[in-house]
A and B are shown apart, each in its own frame.
Chain A
Amino acid sequence: MILKYFLSEGVVCRHELFVATAQDDPDDILQELPAPILDDVAIHKPLEQPLLSCEPSNSLDAMKIAWRYQNLPKVQSALASSSRFGHYYDVSKTMEPEIRQAAKCHRFYLPEHPTLSSPTHSPVLESYSALLKSLQDIIHKEGFDVAAPMSRPRNILRIGLHSLGSALWGDDLTCHDNPAHRHALTTFLYGLRALLRSSLAVAVVTVSSHLIQDRALMGSITRLCDNAIALESFKGSERETNPLYKDYHGLLHVRQVPHLNCLASQLPDHKDLAFKLKRKQFTIERLHLPPDLSETVSRVSRGEQAGAAAVASACGSGTSGNKHLDF
């Protein structure tokens, strides 16, 4: 989904695209890009703003109990951006073919490239080698090299690499605990980093990390990238039924923030983000605890209630009484 947004933004901004896949034909992905909403500026209204003070009526009073919170801005659940950056898309519709065809797309479909045997003992797999070579060829031919002469107007190449590390690319990272090609993906990422540093290109790579058991490997993969986010879906996990998360489809973790050419990076204000896929939009919002308006005083999740009951019953109320205050 994020890859599709990235590529659609490229089409709308008239950048050139490069899509590489191992399983689905790149043309299929390109046909499924969401349609841009090309009407006027849609002002992003922040949603309800819960107050942090103990007096719900008048928020202008100085806070008496929670005075430490006085200086914090009011919680906004939607991530409001100060300026309009980028475009909005409607996920329920696909992009018009005319708009899509206006952008120049390069494609790399693995089954179309015969695997050549490589004479070196380099840890890179042939499939990744071929992809790197193809990328470098496009960058040189189309003039995305930083060092190239400034004769033609410069554009940006948006590279989308789908599902790297999966068995479809010939990699066994997701299949075994101790893969034989342990360093194939990391070496490829190193080469990709080198290519991107010397060209006017941006790449988005998707990796199915839940299948990669080795956490150290995920760590190395993350460190080889500039920007890393992880989407953790609630489907199939015990969090799906947790009332805290009922509005969302999953959590979004920011694993790494870039700091290219500078010392300090732009750290996010808060790190608890959740995403949901609505019919027309994929939204990312701040996850905050909603005010507890139910009769129960405890906010423990269902999984922890067994432990909480053991502690709460110290007052002598007994078994089923952990939901209400018993006197």
Chain B
Amino acid sequence: MYVELNSILNSTPDTFTQGEFILVSDRRSDASFLIHHFLSFYLRARCRVCFLGLVQSFSHYSAVSQRLGVSLTQAKEKGQLIFFEGLKESLSVLVPRDANGASPAINFLRDPSVGLRSLYEFVRSSLSSFNSREKAADGAEEWGPPVLLVDDLSVLLSLGVSVGAALDFSHYCSATVCSQLQGNMVMLVRCDGEEEEEDEGSDRLLKGLTHQCSLSLHVEGLPTGYCRDIHGQVEVCWRKRRGEGLHTQKKLFQYKVHDKGASFFARGTSSTVL
């Protein structure tokens, strides 16, 4: 959890807006450090978290979270965290060894044209089961609202899933998690090309998701080129619906990632420059 980012977003583990869809995106950069922030933030806020880790192993997230002061293994044991390890599950589809198959959530790998319905069912059943368990047992812990984290959505496009299916998936998830269960959702989308190339898959996905989200953080490299001490810039955009219209507010920050966190500062105020 990065303290400066909390003050930029005006949220703390004790007070944060519910029902938010936060879109984290990057263009030719790497915004995964923000996913680690949100993971440790919501675990500290005692929320029930469902994490779809599609690009890294569990031990990677665990090692980084350890440095940020949160133990994923403990959270999993307590039942606070449900972790879906995409890489491990995919092997049972791509290199089938024995008869017992993989989790049905990874079915889209067998036939991408089918879409992501089974993955959505997995998310829905994981987060809804928190509800029933909480009410049933007396000694169960009181957890906060449910949270869905996805790292990252654009890898599904590389595996053959269509943009439409990915947009449907995020729409269904936001309807369930944000509107129905009053929880939060954070998704990471990674793009590569220039902004003018409109037909590219992940750009279309990004555009579609930007319309659905209520807060977006877009990470890019510095427009002036590569710099070792300033890793890039983050554009934070709040999209609030007020009455009939949509009110957006944008702010731009620069950031630097270091071993135990990331620091954010206004443009031009990096400590190496001053």
B-binding residues in A (CB < 8 A): 120-124, 129, 132-133, 136, 182-183, 186-187, 190-191, 193-195, 197-198, 215-216, 218-220, 222-224, 259-264, 267, 269, 271
Contact = CB atoms under 8 A, between A and B. Distances in A.
B63 A261 contact: yes
A31 to B, nearest CB: 30
Interface residues of B, number: 48
A124 B258 CA distance: 38
A193 B90 CA distance: 10
List the 4 closest A-B pairs by CB distance, nearest first.
A219-B192, A194-B87, A121-B111, A191-B94
B87 A262 contact: no
B59 interface: yes
Contacts of A120: 93, 110-111
Contacts of B257: 263-264
Which of B88, B154, B158, B160 is packed against the most chain A CB atoms within 10 Å? Answer: B158
A262 B91 contact: no
A263 B262 contact: yes
Contacts of B90: 190-191, 194
Given A183-B158, A224-B155, A132 B95 contact: yes
A261 B95 CA distance: 26
B64 A262 contact: yes
Nearest to B89: A194
B16 interface: no
A190 B160 CA distance: 12
A115 to B, nearest CB: 16
Given A187-B159, A216-B192, A193 B87 contact: yes
Given A122-B111, A190-B87, A193-B87, A263 B95 contact: no
B91 A191 contact: yes
A216 B200 contact: yes
A133 B95 CA distance: 6
Contacts of B192: 215-216, 218-220, 222-223
A314 B259 CA distance: 53
A267 B87 contact: no
Which of B154, B157, B159 is packed against the most chain A CB atoms within 10 Å? Answer: B159
Interface string B88-112: 1011011101000000000001111
Nearest to A133: B95
A262 B87 CA distance: 18
A76 B17 CA distance: 52
A198 B57 contact: yes
B112 A183 contact: yes
Contacts of A191: 90-91, 94-95
A123 B160 CA distance: 7
A183 B202 contact: no
A194 B64 contact: no
Interface string B1-40: 0000000000000000000000000001010010010000
B135 to A, nearest CB: 37
A195 B90 CA distance: 10
Interface string B174-192: 0000000000000000111
Contacts of A121: 110-113
A169 to B, nearest CB: 16
B240 interface: no
A263 B64 CA distance: 6
B33 A263 contact: yes
Contacts of B109: 122, 187
Contacts of B87: 190, 193-194, 197
B94 A215 contact: no
A157 B224 CA distance: 41
Interface string B251-264: 00000011111100
